[in-house]
Amino acid sequence: MIKSLLLFHEPQVKKPFILTEDSGNVNSGNTNTGEDSAKTGENKEPSRRKKNENLLLKKVEKIKLTDRRERNQKDQKSDISRQLSENLKTIEERFSASLNGDLIIRQFDITVKDSTIAAFLVFFDGLVNTKVIDDDILQPLMLLSNLDIKGDRDDILKYIRSHILPHNQLKEVRTHQELIDEVYFGGCGLYIDGLDAAFAADVKDLPGRSVERPNNELVIRGPQEGFTENLRANTGLIRKRLMDQNLIAENIIIGNRSKTPCSIMYIKDIANETLVNEVKRRLKNIDVDYIMDTGELEQFIEDNPTLPAPQILATERPDRVCTMLAEGRVAIIMHGSPFALVVPITSNDIMYSAEDQFLRFPYSNLLRFIRILAILMSLLLPGIYLAITNYHHEMIPTDLLLAIMSAREKVPFPSVVEVFLMEISFELIREAGIRIPGPIGPTLGIIGALILGQAAVEANIVSPILIIVVAVTGLGSFAIPNFSAGFAFRILRFAFIMLAALSGFLGITVGLILIGLWMVSAKSFGVPYFAPIAPRTSGGFTDAIFKSPAWKQEKRPDYINAKQQKMQPRISRKWALANENNQAGGDNTGDQNG
Amino acid sequence: MMSIGYIALIGLLLCIATYTASFGVWTWKRKNRFGAFMIFLVAVTVVALPVYILLFREA
């Protein structure tokens, strides 16, 4: 302990994921940096501590492997028996049939030739469409008696699959576990006596809401559909818009117990393979019992858990996901969550609204400018007020200074206490407004704010000018289009208030430098958070800060390292060119005629 | 006469100097000889200068 405190220890060099063009080398970054040369030096002289760590890691991996093997062996042991009674017993045991009130086990007979074969169906009431089960599974099977089956009984499995069951999604399963997983996700299991396999039919009719307008990302111009809690409905909403044959939706299960189905979506010939593999690697290496929402998932896969700003975009708009997929990013959709996650993102992505894409470029640029202003106000305005009133009086006109001072004359607290009091009250009103049910919430919030502000001024607790500052700050924070980013700026605002109270503009500058360093060093799935500004990339991406016209957006963001950099040709408005040619041709003809 | 405060202060400075010197060793091992020399110099100065000011310099 004393040794570790007194002596310098070699810092552990983490090897973060860096998104490169090379798909084979996942962890390779810029090889010319001094940091990397240090890494090579470190590799030559591996310390004892590192060796121990490696040994520990190997042990953990071994334990995990044996665990997996045991699990697999267990699954292999529970192979489906040819005896229906055994299968029934297993299913009743595995599903805790005596306790589960919503589990339905329907036993019936199938008559084939002259003999009767026993069978049973298993499903959960409330997860399935019972009409589909009646019409597409039970009815055809129970009417089998009149059918002439050629061949021996072993062909029954194939025959039932190809001739009897008209259901469109029928899966042959060999283990009970496979069938159980299907049944939990709205499937229906069918066991037939004498067969060592079973059928799992997808008859899901999961309770849930229909496609509605997104609640948090409203736009005036643009699609009005939002994601729902249903995975397949969500992937369908994306496929509906992005009819690209290379659009892939890979299934993955997360949660050891919850077994939450997720979908990784990307465009095969655009998205960087390294990125797709990294997303899969992170998702597959989540060892958790239950996972309920993408909000939780985001925390499991993000690069810097302590960074205030979000490193993964959560959106409830399918059109936004489609746009980002077309740029070469990867989307993660989770069953039960109306938010899709998109990776990687940069600081610019959290400042843009989905509407930017659908508006003409002068309009969206105006909105972007206003948003940047709003972010600055939300972050710095109370701090600047404190710095000016406490330290830098000379920065404002004397008349304004006198007005501020006379307004503060009767206030007994220092201005920092005033600011904290009002900011905390504002946050309280905002939080209470969200929690109050129905349409009363926002109304009560506004009324509360007005009454509280007025009363606070009249009671000489705060000065009227501070009410204006807090109100403008609040408006600025509402103009931030990303929900998570709004939180980040709210947290940082308090830090800036403290810094400004301690040392005025010097404190604010120090804060800005520190936060700038923190942000610039951050990465989102291997992409620098401030790209394409820091590091400066020069790929001709024209939607970085201010937006170019739609016809000018020729390239994908170069920091994503997409397989295809070009999005559209240099001249995409070919009609204009054709028109010129025609006109020229017409003029020539005219001249000739003339 | 040396008070307890002086001893505590010198002890703290020695701790700092030890840490700095161990960093110097690490730097030396990485073949940055000049850097290591300068770090050793800092480590020595960290102790020597306050000790001289506290104990030997006449007021």
- The pLDDT assigned to A591 comes to 44
Q: Which of A8, A41, A45 sits opposite B19 (nearest CB)?
A: A8
Q: For A376-412, write each residue's pLDDT tens digit.
A: 999 999 999 999 999 998 999 999 989 988 888 888 9
Residue A504 has pLDDT above 70, yes or no: yes
Shortest distance, CA B3 to any CA of chain A (angstroms)? 24
CB pairs A-B closer than 8 Å? 16
Asked if A8 has any chain B CB less than 8 Å from its own CB, the reply is yes
pLDDT at A556 over 50: yes
Residue to mutate among B12, B13, B19, with most A CBs inside 10 A, is: B19
Tokens (6 digits) for A363: 């309009």
A230-287 confidence digits (pLDDT tens): 999 999 999 999 999 999 999 999 999 899 999 999 999 999 999 999 999 999 999 9
SS3 (DSSP) at A486: helix
Would you call A8 and B30 a contact, using CB atoms and an 8 Å cutoff?
A: no
β-pairing, A198-202 vs A187-192, is antiparallel
The pLDDT assigned to A594 comes to 34
Give the end-to-end CA distance of chain B in Å, rounded to a whole number.
14
DSSP string, A176-226: HHHHHHHHHTTEEEEEETT-S-EEEEE-B----------SSS--SSS----
Inter-chain touch A6–B30, beta carbons under 8 Å: no
Token pair 């690069």 is found at A303
> What is the per-residue pLDDT for A73?
59
Q: Is the pLDDT of residue A124 over 90?
A: yes
| Alpha carbon of A517: minimum distance to chain B alpha carbons (Å) | 25
Contact B22 A10 (CB under 8 A): no
d(CA A340, CA A228): 10
Residue A112 in contact with residue A194, Cβ under 8 Å?
no
pLDDT of A110: 83
Q: Are the beta carbons of A8 and B26 separated by less than 8 Å?
A: yes
CB-CB neighbors (< 8 A) of B14 in chain A: none
Q: Which residue type does A550 have?
A: A
Confirm or reject contact between A7 and chain B (CB < 8 A).
Answer: yes
CA dist., res. B40 & res. B17, Å (int): 9
**A41 Cβ under 8 Å from any chain B Cβ:** yes
- Radius of gyration (C-alpha) of chain A in whole angstroms: 32
Domain ranges of chain B: 4-56
For residue A7, give the nearest of B22, B29, B30 by CB distance.
B22
- Predicted pLDDT of residue A142: 83
A6 touches chain B (CB under 8 A): yes
**Residue B31: closest CA among chain A residues belongs to which residue?**
A41
CB-CB neighbors (< 8 A) of A5 in chain B: 15
Is residue A514 scored above 90 in pLDDT?
A: yes
Is the Cβ pair B19, A41 closer than 8 Å? no
CB proximity list for A558: less than 8 A, separation 6 or greater: A532, A537, A538, A539, A540, A541, A565
Q: Other C-beta atoms within 10 Å of A466: how many? A: 27
Residue A269's beta-bridge partner residues?
none
Name the residue with higher pLDDT: A76 or A519: A519
- What single-letter amino acid sits at A51? K
Chain B interface test: which of A4, A5, A7, A42 (most B C-beta within 10 Å): A7
Distance CA A119, CA A141 (A): 9
pLDDT tens digits, residue range A330-347? 999 999 999 999 999 999
Following CA atoms A383, A384, A390, A391 in sequence, which dihedral angle do they give, to the nearest 10 degrees? 120
ipTM over 0.90: no
Question: For position A147, what pLDDT does the model report?
Answer: 62
Residue with tokens 């109306």: A338
Q: What is the mean pLDDT of residues B45-56?
A: 90
With a cut of 60, say whether residue A585 has pLDDT above it. no
pLDDT tens sequence across A205-231: 888 889 999 988 888 898 999 999 999
pLDDT tens digits, one per residue of A148-202: 655 555 567 777 777 777 778 888 888 898 899 889 988 999 998 888 889 999 9
pLDDT for position A4 = 81
Q: What is the mean pLDDT of residues A8-18?
A: 79
Q: How confident is the model at residue A47 (pLDDT cuts 50, 70, 90)?
A: low
Touching A: B residues 19-58, CB under 8 Å: 19, 22-23, 25-26, 29-30
User: Are B18 and A41 a contacting pair at CB < 8 A?
Assistant: no
Kindly list the distances between the CA atom of residue A542 and the CA atoms of A221, A309, A463, A551, in Å, as whole numbers in the listed order.
22, 24, 45, 10
Cβ count near A265 (within 10 Å): 24
CA–CA gap between residue A171 and residue A160 (Å, rounded): 12
Average pLDDT over residues A499-503: 94
> pLDDT tens-digit profile of A411-463?
899 999 999 999 998 888 888 888 877 777 777 777 777 788 888 888 888 88
- What is the chain B residue with the closest CA to A7? B19
B16: which chain A residues are within 8 Å (Cβ-Cβ)?
A: none
Tell me the C-alpha to C-alpha distance, in Å, between residue A24 and each of A21, A383, A460, A489, A589: 9, 48, 67, 38, 59
Instruction: Name the minimum distance, in Å, from the CA of B59 to any CA of chain A.
Output: 33
The DSSP code for A175 is: B
Q: What is the pTM of this model?
A: 0.76
State yes or no: pLDDT of A24 exceeds 50. Answer: no
Closest residue by Cα to residue A188 from A121, A274, A280: A121
> What's the pLDDT tens digit per position in A532-541?
888 887 666 6
Q: What is the mean pLDDT of chain A?
A: 84
Note whether B18 contacts A10, CB cutoff 8 Å: no
Contact in structure between A246 and A270 (CB atoms under 8 Å): yes
What pLDDT does A40 receive? 42
In sequence order, what are the beta bridge partners of A476? Answer: none
Asked if the model's pLDDT at residue A35 lies above 50, the reply is no
The beta-carbon neighbor of B18 closest among A6, A10, A41 is A6
Average pLDDT of A478-499?
A: 93
Contacts of A47 in chain B (CB under 8 A): none
Q: Is the pLDDT of residue A288 over 60?
A: yes
What are the CA-CA distances from residue A14 to residues A27, A50, A145, A562, A586 (Å)? Answer: 11, 12, 68, 26, 67
Q: What is the least distance, in Å, from the CA of B21 to any CA of chain A?
A: 8
